């Protein structure tokens, strides 16, 4: 019965593709019915069952998905929209728009129409009855046809299995698998949901960001946008402080690529500080700059005079900002160092240095 339903949707998708103007129109306009969403939910469940996956009790499952996606807290604050269906609910990945004024049926219609469906690589679904999560894609993309036989796409199902085994069941072997085979998901939960609580995940995200940032000439600053700080759908600033603190574990006298990444991003914010239109306000940029300098200034001081294989700058980022953009330092001081008491010590050190040089 399930196979017949799958083939019906495969034929529907083929017909829709033939009638689409182009590839983009196909993905944006394809409508997933609630029946298809329920079918995908059941297919994933059957796969996990066949793999002897241990489904956790609802209380444990809810606690763990809240740890990653911060669902309950953000719903209370009105920062997150949930699309609810019969057997599952979904988080639409649309953090830069506010759809809270839409009625439930309108939200469902927008979700199915694709307006939310493919942002950031897909939406995450959470099964109500059996406590697992997965990435929602059309049922036809779960299988390949070979001589009229349906062959499951191993890559998709393996990712779903290991995501659940690590994030819900705490299986450390699955984390190693994800870091090797599913970096897109790892980056998504950090970049989109702000999950920065695990050192190994933070390291992998930063190293991947550095690879794409430094791969272009000039370096691609857009890779760093929305990584260290972002806004939710209500426009509230979220700093990824634990991600920023990861720089300490990734810096030594012979390794400074991550600290340079943070310095470059901070300099980019400082240079654009007076732009009329910006994703971040002046105050928000100062908060981000304060957070980053609070993390990297002591690391810079520790390593800059050590003998190693790398050439370190003579002046700290904080020093350069103080010279080139004193209005930023003034704003930070005025706002009680943005809540970072150590930053007062660092800024006072800069003042002492300036006095000695006079």
Residues 351 and 347: their CA atoms lie apart, in Å, by 6
Q: What pLDDT does 28 receive?
A: 57
Is the model's pLDDT at 163 over the cut of 60? Answer: yes
Give pLDDT tens digits for 346-356: 999 887 666 65
DSSP structure class, residue 56: P
Token pair 């300036």 is found at 354
Q: What pLDDT does 102 receive?
A: 42
Instruction: Report the range of poorest mean pLDDT among 44-53, 80-89, 162-171, 253-262.
Output: 80-89
Residue 150 bridge partners (DSSP): 145
Banded model confidence at residue 25, pLDDT cuts 50, 70, 90: low
Cα–Cα separations (whole angstroms), residue 36 to 47, 95, 155: 17, 25, 21
DSSP structure class, residue 135: E
Q: What pLDDT does 89 receive?
A: 77
User: What average pLDDT does the segment 65-79 reach?
Assistant: 80
Token pair 């307006």 is found at 115
User: What average pLDDT does the segment 250-274 reach?
Assistant: 85
Q: What pLDDT does 200 receive?
A: 96
Is the model's pLDDT at 230 over the cut of 90? Answer: no
Is the model's pLDDT at 313 over the cut of 60? Answer: yes
DSSP line for 217-285? SS--GGGGTTTSEEE-TT--EEE-HHHHHGGGTT-BTTB-HHHHHHHHHHHHHHHTTT-SS-SS-HHHH
- How far, in whole angstroms, is CA 128 from its chain's centroid? 24
Q: Is the dihedral of CA 13, 19, 22, 27 positive or negative?
A: negative
Region of residue 126 (left: phi > 0; alpha: psi -120 to 50; beta: else)? beta
* pTM beyond 0.75, yes or no: yes
Contact 213, 224 (CB under 8 A): yes
């Amino acid at each position: 019965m399930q196979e017949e339903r799958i083939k019906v949707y495969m034929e529907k998708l083929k017909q829709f593709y033939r009638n689409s103007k182009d590839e983009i129109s196909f993905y944006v306009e394809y409508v997933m019915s609630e029946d298809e969403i329920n079918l995908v939910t059941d297919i994933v469940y059957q796969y996990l069952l066949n793999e002897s996956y241990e489904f956790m009790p609802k209380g444990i499952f809810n606690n763990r998905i809240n740890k990653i996606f911060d669902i309950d807290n953000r719903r209370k604050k009105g920062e997150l929209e949930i699309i609810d269906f019969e057997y599952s609910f979904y988080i639409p990945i649309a953090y830069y728009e506010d759809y809270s004024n839409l009625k439930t049926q309108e939200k469902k219609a927008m979700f199915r129409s694709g307006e939310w469906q493919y942002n950031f690589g897909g939406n995450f679904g959470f099964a109500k009855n059996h406590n697992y999560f997965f990435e929602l894609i059309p049922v036809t993309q779960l299988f390949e046809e070979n001589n009229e036989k349906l062959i499951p796409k191993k890559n998709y199902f393996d990712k779903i299995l290991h995501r659940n085994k690590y994030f819900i069941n705490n299986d450390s072997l699955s984390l190693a698998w994800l870091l090797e085979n599913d970096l897109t998901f790892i980056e998504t939960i950090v970049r989109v949901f702000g999950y920065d609580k695990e050192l190994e995940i933070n390291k992998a995200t930063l190293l991947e960001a550095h690879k794409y940032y430094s791969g272009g000439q000039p370096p691609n600053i857009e890779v760093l946008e929305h990584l260290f700080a972002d806004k939710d759908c209500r426009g509230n600033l979220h700093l990824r402080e634990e991600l920023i603190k990861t720089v300490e574990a990734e810096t030594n006298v012979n390794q400074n690529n991550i600290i340079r990444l943070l310095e470059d991003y901070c300099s980019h914010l400082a240079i654009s500080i007076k732009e009329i239109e910006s994703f971040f306000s002046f105050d928000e940029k100062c908060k981000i700059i304060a957070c980053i300098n609070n993390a990297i200034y002591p690391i810079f001081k520790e390593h800059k005079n050590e003998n190693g294989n790398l050439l370190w700058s003579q002046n700290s980022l904080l020093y350069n900002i103080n010279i080139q953009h004193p209005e930023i330092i003034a704003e930070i001081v005025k706002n009680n160092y943005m809540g970072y008491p150590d930053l007062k010590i660092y800024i006072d050190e800069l003042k002492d240095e300036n006095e000695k040089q006079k």
